Structure 1
Amino acid sequence: MFPFSVCMSVYRNDNPEDLCTALNSVIIQSVPPSEVILIVDGPVSHELEKIIRKYEADYSFVHPVWLAENGGLGNALKIAVEKASCEYIARMDSDDISMPDRFKKQLECFEREPDLSIVGGRITEFVDSEDNIVGSRCCPLKDSEIKRYMKSRCGLNHVTVMFRRSEVLKAGNYLDWFWNEDYYLWIRMWKQGCKFCNLEDVLVNVRVGYDMYARRGGWTYFKSEAKLQKYMWKQHLIGFPRFMFNVAVRWGVQVMLPNRMRGFVFQKLFREK
């Protein structure tokens, strides 16, 4: 199978125990990575630093990159992609859990369809214990379905993706965009003709907190989302009526609804039990 890199980012507020769980889930795979690029995004606690240095010492393929200041997720992932030495790169977060055959399934998909630029998959979501599953999210599977879905919402679960480094660089790499670094990148890859795919399988078990829906609302979050919808309209990926509809829905959900009601809407409309 193809050699591949894993790109992760960790910062001062991350939980040390969760980071260990995430790293272990990447290392103990049926097909392990050739390298793990771990961006340390600014100063971290002594405990986090000790854990990172231990993994670096124990596993020769774990390569921390220490940044003097926190620059945000988009900047961290941009650096990680630039540092990666493999054409195929898998994303991973510092507090989630990859399924044991995740990378094997994605590489097999690339082997079956060599014209693919990116392969994602399904997630489950848990609170506190990884057995306490509270929801799941499955995106459309085929390229045409994903692109149609992206006219209203992000069509890939970011933490699950594996992509071709050359295609991401060609699209301009990750760029800073509040809470939407991934969606913004997929839109630019769509614009340049990249082919997408999602697997039916659960690839990652995602840790969520009770404040998740509060963080997915508010004026700043809405402005970021509205600006992205405007970008799609300006790029002729959606028409003006779709642009207005998308912005109106986001205004209602992200600004007008209180957090508890927003959580109810997300669970009922955007998540599966």
Structure 2
Amino acid sequence: MEQKVVPVSLLMSLYIKEKKQFLQECLNSIQNQTNLPKEVLIVFDGPISKENEILVEDFKNSYPESVKIIALEKNQGLGAALAIGVTSCSQPIIARMDTDDIMLSNRIEDEYQQFLKNPKLDIVGSNIDEFSGLMTNILGSRIVPETDEEIRNFSKRRNPFNHMTVMYKKKAVLDAGNYQPLPGFEDYYLWVRMLKKGCKGYNIQKSLILARTGEDMYKRRGGIHYLVPGLKARKQIYKAGLGSLPDFVFVSLVHICISLMPNGLRGWFYEKKLRNS
């Protein structure tokens, strides 16, 4: 397979709890792209495990001119790590990826082509297939709105992009204030600020990422530790975005209900009500 290099930076944040197997599968999916990013920038959000450090070093040795590492002394959280990463990316277009997810081989090519077709676009994403355990064990898909108008309407109540799928213009992100610390909602907060400033979005209507899910994810979306910060975050998103007061009240009530559900019921709700089976 002939691989073309495109002027894109691939940005990831890696922290100490990432599993070696997940990271290995993630890196493999980068190597298997039909279009390779000109730069892969990995931010170490604080110290990482020795085995993952070796894994990243081997990956860097395979692409010495492309892979760049920024090592932060202390864990600063996803928003702060990505903000540093965005400012450090050398290419005008940045693709995001999580270190435990897997890209389909045409992900970068398909999204980059959208920018060539429509230079007015500022952010492009796609749907995702969520799996647990084996990659073939697909639990459901998160389908996001396609057109800019649909994205704007959707953003009033729900996150209109799948974060691990997005590719965006660096300048547009910086003009909107870059990522800002808002645990669990850093991406949603950025999107609404970008949309309010007039940035144009588009979501490809197919899944280009296999995203891990399961009980651990559902646990993180529940309890008082998620309830209170989440309500504060949704208030900030409401004030910065396009939604109305009724939109804010509705999403706050839903957030309270989901946070207080037993974990098993929360998992059922995500898989049956918030995802396409």
Same-fold call, TM > 0.5? yes
Q: Which of 61, 85, 108 pairs up with 2:90?
A: 85
* Contact kept in structure 2, 1:27 and 1:33, CA below 8 Å: no
* Contact kept in structure 2, 1:180 and 1:224, CA below 8 Å: no
CA deviation string 1:94-119 (max 9, x = no partner): 11100000011111111111101000
**Structure 1 length-normalised TM:** 0.96
Q: Which of 19, 29, 37 pairs up with 1:15?
A: 19
Residue aligning to 2:49: 45
Q: Which ranges of structure 1 fall in alignment gaps of 5 or more residues?
A: none
Residue aligning to 1:213: 218
Q: Which of 245, 254, 263 pairs up with 2:267?
A: 263
Q: Which of 134, 145, 156 pairs up with 2:139?
A: 134
RMSD over equivalenced CA pairs, Å: 1.4
Q: Cα 1:52–1:247, aligned 2, differ >3 Å: closer, same or farther?
A: same
CA deviation string 1:70-93 (max 9, x = no partner): 111111111111110001000011
* Contact kept in structure 2, 1:90 and 1:163, CA below 8 Å: yes
Residue aligning to 2:111: 106
Q: Cα 1:174–1:236, aligned 2, differ >3 Å: closer, same or farther?
A: closer
Q: Which ranges of structure 2 fall in alignment gaps of 5 or more residues?
A: none
CA deviation string 1:13-32 (max 9, x = no partner): 10112111101211221000
C-alpha distance in 2, partners of 1:235/1:163?
19
Report the alpha carbon displacement of residue 226 of structure 1 after superposing the two structures with TM: 2.0
C-alpha distance in 2, partners of 1:242/1:129?
37
Q: Cα 1:209–1:235, aligned 2, differ >3 Å: closer, same or farther?
A: closer
Residue aligning to 1:182: 187
Residue aligning to 2:249: 244
Residue aligning to 1:224: 229
CA deviation string 1:115-168 (max 9, x = no partner): 010000010011111111111111010111111011111010000000000000
One-letter amino acid of the counterpart of residue 144, structure 1: E
One-letter amino acid of the counterpart of residue 195, structure 2: W
One-letter amino acid of the counterpart of residue 59, structure 2: Y
Report the alpha carbon displacement of residue 2 of structure 1 after superposing the two structures with TM: 4.9
**Structure 2 length-normalised TM:** 0.94
Q: Cα 1:43–1:119, aligned 2, differ >3 Å: closer, same or farther?
A: same
* Contact kept in structure 1, 2:33 and 2:106, CA below 8 Å: yes
* Contact kept in structure 2, 1:109 and 1:119, CA below 8 Å: yes
CA deviation string 1:179-199 (max 9, x = no partner): 011000001101111011000
* Contact kept in structure 2, 1:12 and 1:43, CA below 8 Å: yes
Q: Which of 157, 161, 164 pairs up with 1:156?
A: 161
Report the alpha carbon displacement of residue 232 of structure 1 after superposing the two structures with TM: 4.1
Residue aligning to 2:30: 26
Q: Cα 1:48–1:232, aligned 2, differ >3 Å: closer, same or farther?
A: closer
Identity %: 40
The 3-state SS of whatever aligns with 2:255 is helix
* Contact kept in structure 2, 1:2 and 1:88, CA below 8 Å: no
* Contact kept in structure 2, 1:7 and 1:81, CA below 8 Å: yes
Report the alpha carbon displacement of residue 236 of structure 1 after superposing the two structures with TM: 6.7
More deviation in 155-164 or 199-208? 199-208
The answer to whether structure 1 residue 203 and structure 2 residue 240 are counterparts is no
One-letter amino acid of the counterpart of residue 14, structure 1: E
C-alpha distance in 2, partners of 1:119/1:27?
21
